[in-house]
Structure 1
Amino acid sequence: MKFVTRTGSVTINMPTRAALLEAVRARMAAREGFALATLNLDHLVKLNHDPAFQTAYAAQDFVVADGNPIVWLSRLARRPVELVPGADLVLPLARLAAETGTPVALLGTTEAALEAAGEGLMAHAPGLAVVAKIAPPMGFDPSSEGAVAVFDALAQSGAGLCFLALGAPKQEVLAARGRSLCPGVGFVSIGAGLDFIAGSQTRAPAWVRRLALEWVWRMVLAPGRLVPRYAKCIAILPGHVLRALRPRRDG
């Protein structure tokens, strides 16, 4: 499923969670790196105005649908994809890493959250080796020369999988750089996924997520930050709906 933006386009090339996990397992077994992004409406808003973000997305090996609107649009276009939120991938990927003997690094959020997340992951994925916990300073720029030190630390740790909890577009830009500077590492952009594991942020209950209302839950908790963001997301929906319906109309 392809989504067109003002700076280019993005294609979801992993339509299901099962397909993604199979592809990641193969990369881990071969000790090959990758970059995984989770597309949502907020990303599409940012992609409209950020060519650097578009370039970073073009460097991702795997893209999944993180957000019900993306799934609904794919169904309108008759190219259905499965909902695969980044936060829901943390534990399955940690278990895959444990099974394949792939050491894991945690990057982003705060030192306290990383410590708690590391303990939580090892409890849920017996045998998992968390070999690095890196909390970049405030104002960290993934495209700067200062980010090279982060990649040096990853290389020295021996990590084969790195969870990135920096938020968009920082995490995707860092993952794109990592594909060339640390080609043996799999970079997974998961937003608040580590904070949920650590308990430093509270995720919407399962019943709220089943009703596709997680965005309402988050907006109530942080209205000042998220009301403007979601307003921009809603504003781009009509154009994407029309583009999704076009193949049906033409075909």
Structure 2
Amino acid sequence: MKFGGTGYSVEINVATRKQLFRTVRARMAEQRGFALATLNLDHLTKLPNDPRFAEAYARHDLIVADGRPVVWLSRLARRPVALMPGSDLILPLCTLAAETRTPVALMGSSDAALAAAAEALRQRVPGLSIALCHAPAYGFDPTGGDADAICDMLGRSGAGLCFIALGAPKQELFAAHAARHCPHIGFASIGAGLDFLAGHQVRAPRLMRMLALEWLWRALQSPRRMVPRYAKCFAILPGLAGQALRQRRR
């Protein structure tokens, strides 16, 4: 499934969870890095207006669908992909890391959130090695000197997989930048996933997720921040549906 517009083109190139985990396992075994992005409607509102974000996305090796609207659009285009939210990928990727003896690094918003997330992961994934937890300073540049210093830190830590929970576009900018500096490390951008594990944010109940109402839960939790974001997402749906129909005809 492809999406494109003025100044950007992005393709979901991993259609199933089985394909994703098979690819990641092979790369971990070979100590070969990657950059993994989870595409959602919020990203698709930003990509046409942010050349740096679009360039960073183009350098990602693995792109999956995060959000039911993206999955529905893929079905409309007759190029179906599975739903793979970043938050749902953390535990299975950590299981793969433990099985391949790949140390993990966590990057997030605060030291407290990372410490709690690390403890939760150790309890849920036996044998998992967490080599580094790092919360970048407020306002850090994800592609500048600050990012280079973090890359050096990651290289010394021995980590082979790094979860980045900084929000878009910062996490994707850093992942694309760091993948060049640390080609043996896999970088996975997972949004609020570590905050959910830490209990610093509350994820929508499973029933609401099953009914595709997680967006409503998040809007009710933080209306001033999320309502304008979702309004922009809904506004681009007709155009994306048109793209999907054109791909369907081809």
Identify the TM-score tier after normalising by the shorter chain. Answer: over 0.9
1:50 Cα shift?
Answer: 0.5
Say whether the 8 Å CA contact 1:5–1:44 is kept in structure 2.
no
Ranges of 4+ aligned residues in structure 1 off by more than 6 Å:
none
1:84 aligns with 2:84: yes
Deviations 1:39-97 (A, max 9, x none): 00000000010011011001111000000000000000000101000000000001100
Partner of residue 134, structure 1: 134
1:143 Cα shift?
Answer: 1.6
Deviations 1:132-175 (A, max 9, x none): 00000111110221211111110010000000001001111101
> Normalising by structure 2, what TM-score?
0.98
1:97 aligns with 2:97: yes
Aligned identity (percent) is: 61
Partner of residue 149, structure 1: 149
Partner of residue 174, structure 2: 174
d(CA) in 2 for partners of 1:243, 1:133: 41
> Normalising by structure 1, what TM-score?
0.98
Partner of residue 220, structure 1: 220
d(CA) in 1 for partners of 2:6, 2:49: 7
d(CA) in 1 for partners of 2:168, 2:129: 26
Partner of residue 117, structure 2: 117
Partner of residue 187, structure 1: 187
Partner of residue 75, structure 2: 75
- Matched AA of 1:108: G
Partner of residue 65, structure 1: 65
State how 1:38-49 maps to structure 2 within 5 Å: 38-49=38-49
d(CA) in 2 for partners of 1:57, 1:147: 17
Partner of residue 203, structure 1: 203
1:5 Cα shift?
Answer: 2.6
d(CA) in 2 for partners of 1:149, 1:168: 21
Partner of residue 164, structure 1: 164
SS where residue 37 of structure 2 aligns?
strand
d(CA) in 2 for partners of 1:113, 1:5: 37
- Matched AA of 2:13: N
Partner of residue 11, structure 2: 11
SS where residue 159 of structure 2 aligns?
coil
- Matched AA of 1:162: C
Partner of residue 21, structure 1: 21
d(CA) in 1 for partners of 2:109, 2:77: 36
SS where residue 60 of structure 1 aligns?
coil
1:247 Cα shift?
Answer: 3.3
SS where residue 166 of structure 1 aligns?
coil
- Matched AA of 2:243: R
- Matched AA of 2:193: G
Deviations 1:157-211 (A, max 9, x none): 0000000001001111101011110110000000000001111100001110000
Gaps of 5+ in 2: none
d(CA) in 2 for partners of 1:123, 1:247: 45
d(CA) in 2 for partners of 1:73, 1:55: 23
- Shifted more, 145-154 versus 160-169: the winner is 145-154
Aligned residues: 250
CA RMSD of aligned residues (A): 0.8
